[in-house]
Amino acid sequence: MEIKNLKVLGERAAEILFPRKCPLCLKVLDEAEKMICKDCYKKISFTKEPLCMKCGRPLKSEEEEYCPSCQGYSGKIYFDKGVSLMIHDESAKKLLYDLKYSNIRENAKFLAREFVRKKYKEVLSWKADAIIPVPLHKKRYKKRGFNQSELLANELAKYFKIAVDSANLLRCVDTIPQKELDKSKRKKNIENSFKFLDNIVKYKYAILVDDIFTTGTTINECAKVLKKSGVENVYFITMSIVSE
Ligand SMILES: [Zn+2]
Ligand SMILES: [Zn+2]
């Protein structure tokens, strides 16, 4: 038997022995479903208009342009615009939690594919020359072994054909995880904890990638550093956004 046939046979055997399961309900998927089951797919809350023109959070009415959070943001907003794929509800939480803590990389593939299906045109219009994942501090990276934002950035880059730069934006302070802090302490916690090595690369338009957008302080702090390094426009992509 040819090697190629053996490989196909091996893959078939793996499918039978370890059938692909839905990442949300763990039901075995049928041929047509591929990445997630039909029922769970329907339950995902994908973001849809009207959305805040700045952060992409859902708005209560068509008449508004910006969400209350952007309107009342204490301090300067450095990023130009962002889009998120989903509202941060139970489905989104599970997909991202399993990617981050159980290293289920299929979730990154699924999320990137969905993102591209829904937001491709908008992201292309940004004409970005780099995709930059929000970095982890090197101590945390060593402990986890990977950066979930980098996995997402790599998957997205395959579709957008934009280079991923995960080397030059650094997190130089090992801060307390933002989710453990309330809104007022988040900003102080993350202030001045990023650095961009702008002597190495220069970008005109850059896209930051992170898993979740909550108050936006992390993205904004990264955007601040990029802007100070001369990047003209800073956009962001997050997989889910906490609705107000
Ligand atoms: Zn399911
Ligand atoms: Zn907003």
What does the pLDDT look like over 43-56, one tens digit per residue? 999 999 999 999 99
> What CATH architecture is 45-241?
3-Layer(aba) Sandwich (3.40)
Q: At what angle do helices 217-228 and 183-190 cross, to 10 degrees?
A: 30
The ligand minimizing its distance to the Cα of 38 is: 1
**Domains of the chain: which residue ranges?**
1-43, 45-241
Q: Render pLDDT for 158-212 as a digit per residue (tens, 0 to 9).
A: 999 999 999 999 999 888 888 888 877 888 888 889 999 988 889 999 999 999 9
50 Cα: distance to centroid of ligand 1 (angstroms): 28
Q: Render pLDDT for 88-142 as a digit per residue (tens, 0 to 9).
A: 999 999 999 999 999 999 999 999 999 999 999 999 999 999 999 999 999 999 9
67 Cα: distance to centroid of ligand 2 (angstroms): 4
The ligand minimizing its distance to the Cα of 64 is: 2
Predicted confidence band at 221 (pLDDT cuts at 50, 70, 90)?
A: very high
C-alpha distance from residue 152 to each of 110, 121, 140, 205, 233 (Å): 10, 18, 18, 19, 21
Nearby residues for ligand 2 (ion, Cβ within 5 Å):
52, 54-55, 57, 67, 70
Q: Which ranges of 50-133 would DSSP assign to H, the alpha helix?
A: 68-71, 90-102, 106-125
Rounded to whole angstroms, the Cα distance separating 82 from 122 reads 10
How many residues does the structure list for the chain? 244
65 Cα: distance to centroid of ligand 2 (angstroms): 8
Q: Does the structure show a pLDDT above 80 at 150?
A: yes
Rounded to whole angstroms, the Cα distance separating 58 from 48 reads 7
Rounded to whole angstroms, the Cα distance separating 121 from 107 reads 22
173 Cα: distance to centroid of ligand 2 (angstroms): 27
**What is the reported pLDDT for 1?**
60
The ligand minimizing its distance to the Cα of 58 is: 2
Query: What value does the mean pLDDT take over residues 145-164?
Result: 97
244 Cα: distance to centroid of ligand 2 (angstroms): 10
Tokens describing residue 134 = 């929000």
Tokens describing residue 62 = 């068509």
121 Cα: distance to centroid of ligand 1 (angstroms): 29
Query: What value does the mean pLDDT take over residues 74-78?
Result: 93
41 Cα: distance to centroid of ligand 1 (angstroms): 7
81 Cα: distance to centroid of ligand 1 (angstroms): 32
Percent of the chain with pLDDT over 70: 99
24 Cα: distance to centroid of ligand 1 (angstroms): 5
Q: Which ranges of the chain would DSSP assign to H, the alpha helix?
A: 3-17, 38-43, 68-71, 90-102, 106-125, 138-144, 148-160, 183-190, 217-228
Q: Render pLDDT for 9-37 as a digit per residue (tens, 0 to 9).
A: 887 777 777 888 999 999 999 888 889 99
**Do residues 115 and 85 touch, judged by C-beta distance below 8 A?**
yes
**What is the reported pLDDT for 74?**
85
